[in-house]
Amino acid sequence: MYTLNDVDWKHVVILFGTPALALVGFATVPLRTATFWWAVAYYFFTGLGITAGYHRYWAHRSYDATRVWQVILMAAGTGAVEGTVKWWSRGHRIHHRFTDTEKDPYNAKRGFLWSHIGWMIIKQKKNATVDISDLSSDPLVAFQHKYYLPLAVFMAFIFPTLVAGFGWNDWAGGFFFAGVARLVFVHHATFCVNSLAHYLGEFTFDDRRTPKDHFLTALVTLGEGYHNFHHEFPADYRNAIKFWQYDPTKWTIWFASLVGLTYNLKMFPANEIEKGRIHMMQKKLDDIKKTLDYGVPVEELPVLTFSQVKERISETGKQLLIISGVVYDVSKFMDDHPGGKGFLRAAVGRDVTASFNGGVYDHANAARNLMSSMRYARLEGLVPEASVSRED
Ligand code: HEM
Q: Give 305-338 pLDDT, tens digit per residue.
A: 999 999 999 999 999 999 999 999 999 999 999 9
* Residue 49 DSSP one-character state: I
User: Which residues belong to CATH 3.10.120.10 in the chain?
Assistant: 298-387
Contact assessment for residue 320 and residue 349, using Cβ atoms and an 8 Å cutoff: yes
User: To test ligand 1's pocket by mutation, which of 327, 337, 360 has the most ligand atoms within 8 angstroms of CB?
Assistant: 337
Q: Rounded to the nearest whole angstrom, what is the distance from the C-alpha of residue 313 to the centroid of ligand 1? A: 21
CA dihedral (51, 56, 58, 59) in degrees, to 10, reads: 100
Q: Rounded to the nearest whole angstrom, what is the distance from the C-alpha of residue 363 to the centroid of ligand 1? A: 6
Spans in the chain with pLDDT lower than 50: none
Nearest-CA residue for atom 38 of ligand 1? 339
As a whole number of Å, the end-to-end CA separation of the chain is: 81
Contact assessment for residue 93 and residue 99, using Cβ atoms and an 8 Å cutoff: no
CATH topology of domain 298-387: Flavocytochrome B2; Chain A, domain 1 (3.10.120)
Nearest-CA residue for atom 11 of ligand 1? 338
Residue 125: what pLDDT? Answer: 84
- Cβ of 364 less than 6 Å from ligand 1: yes
- Cβ of 117 less than 6 Å from ligand 1: no
Q: What is the pTM of this model?
A: 0.84
Residue 353: what pLDDT? Answer: 97
Q: Rounded to the nearest whole angstrom, what is the distance from the C-alpha of residue 369 to the centroid of ligand 1? A: 12
Nearest-CA residue for atom 9 of ligand 1? 367
Residue 391: what pLDDT? Answer: 57
- Cβ of 376 less than 6 Å from ligand 1: no
Q: List CB contacts of 20: < 8 A, sequence separation 6 or more.
A: none
Nearest-CA residue for atom 40 of ligand 1? 339
- Cβ of 39 less than 6 Å from ligand 1: no
Residue 75: what pLDDT? Answer: 98
